[in-house]
Structure formats: C-alpha cells, structure tokens
C-alpha cells in the first residue's frame, strides 16, 4: 500500500507517556516538522527557550492526564477554557472513559507557531499535532494548543482536539483508507486526511 511507505513520517521524536514517565519532558527531534511563518509568510522571531517552554507545558499536561491527576491538568487550562468547560463536567467526561489519549506513546509530528492570531487574545501560540498509539492498537491523533501572553509568562492549554481510531479500524498500524480520509488530524505531508 502506498500509504505504508509514507508512514515513515512517524519516525519523529517520541514522547513516552505513562504512569512511570520521567518528570522532565523530552526535546523535540529534528524530524518534527516545524512551521514558524505567519499567515503572510513572514518568519516569526522565536527565542531559544520558546520551544522548550511550550513543550514543557504540552508534556506536563499530557503526563498529568496519564497519571489521572485531573487537578493538575485542569489548572493548566487557560481561564477562558475553564469557564467554557466547568471543572466537574470536564473531569466527568474524562473519567467515563476507561483509557485516554494520554495513555499511549505520543509522537509529535508538527509544531506550528502563531503570534497574535486574529480573533484570539494576543500572545504566542504553539500547536502540537500528534499521533498516539496505545497498547490495545487504538490510535489517537489530534492537537494541543498552548498560549503565552508575554515573554516570561507561563504557557497555558487553550485548545485540544483528539480523535480516536479503534483497533478494528486499523490495518497494519495505519487507519484504513476510508477512515483515514475522514480523520480531522494532521498525520504528515502527503497523507490525505480531512484536516
């Protein structure tokens, strides 16, 4: 299958998540696709620490969910996201699922940067597109967006969107072609999804 050859994009750096995960977040490898140009094609000027701090927040949020530390995970959400997702409702939606996307091996595929996007509070945004693979052969994909209002401020989680592909809809580690075309996820250049 042609898609199997292209699936090599997932040789990107892996972020291993689980209850025994190390407290320090891994660095993103050179294979992770990076988008640093704004909508006009102008290159964003980033500080050396920006990627590390954004990655630290992404990893801390993911690890908190993997540990089922809902208090810590919820505290990382931006206040406007907390207001739109009341604490009890947010946690109950997570607790009713026997496993979460954070329970697998998560590989960041692309990191996209945005500064002061239209219609959003000003600041620096980083979107982590990822694929997750669980031991039961379920695949998760989606993104987590973090935001920092000013240099020196902490990043907060402002949006998450995750899709789950059950094992029966996978074929040799890849979503079946009809499923792949419906996924609202970024899975790599040349991989046709609905994203």
Q: Is residue 186 part of a domain?
A: no
Specify the pTM.
0.84
Provide the percentage of residues in the chain whose pLDDT is more than 90: 61
**Which pLDDT tens digit goes with each residue over 8-66?**
322 233 344 333 343 344 557 888 999 998 767 788 989 889 999 999 999 999 999 99
Q: Is residue 187 part of a domain?
A: no
pLDDT computed for residue 190 by the predictor = 82
Q: How many domains does one find in the chain? A: 1
Query: E-strand spans in the chain?
Result: 14-16, 33-35, 105-115, 124-133, 139-148, 156-165, 170-171, 174-175
pLDDT computed for residue 164 by the predictor = 93
pLDDT computed for residue 17 by the predictor = 39
Using the predicted structure, report yes or no on whether residue 6 has a pLDDT greater than 90.
no
**Which pLDDT tens digit goes with each residue over 135-194?**
989 999 999 999 999 999 999 999 999 999 999 999 888 898 889 888 999 998 888 787
Residues of the domain holding 126 = 2-16+29-180
**Which pLDDT tens digit goes with each residue over 83-139?**
999 999 999 999 999 899 999 899 999 999 999 988 999 999 999 999 999 998 999
Question: In this structure, is the dihedral angle defined by the CA atoms of residues 39, 43, 45 and 47, taken in order, positive or negative?
Answer: positive
């Amino acid at each position: 299958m042609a898609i199997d050859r292209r699936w090599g994009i997932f040789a990107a750096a892996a972020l291993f998540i689980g209850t025994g995960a190390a407290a320090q977040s891994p660095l993103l490898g050179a294979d992770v696709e990076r988008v640093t140009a704004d909508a006009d094609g102008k290159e964003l000027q980033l500080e050396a620490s920006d990627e590390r701090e954004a990655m630290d927040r992404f990893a801390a949020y993911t690890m908190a969910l993997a540990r089922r530390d809902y208090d810590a995970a919820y505290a990382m959400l931006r206040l406007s996201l907390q207001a739109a997702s009341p604490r009890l409702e947010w946690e109950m939606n997570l607790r009713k699922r026997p496993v979460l996307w954070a329970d697998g091996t998560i590989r960041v595929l692309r990191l996209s940067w945005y500064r002061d996007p239209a219609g959003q509070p000003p600041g620096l945004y980083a979107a982590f597109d990822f694929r997750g693979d669980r031991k039961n052969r379920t695949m998760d994909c989606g993104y987590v967006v973090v935001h920092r209002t000013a240099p020196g401020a902490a990043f907060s989680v402002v949006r998450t969107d995750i899709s789950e592909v059950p094992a029966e809809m996978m074929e040799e580690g890849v979503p079946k072609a009809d499923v792949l075309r419906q996924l609202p996820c970024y899975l790599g250049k040349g991989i046709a999804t609905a994203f």
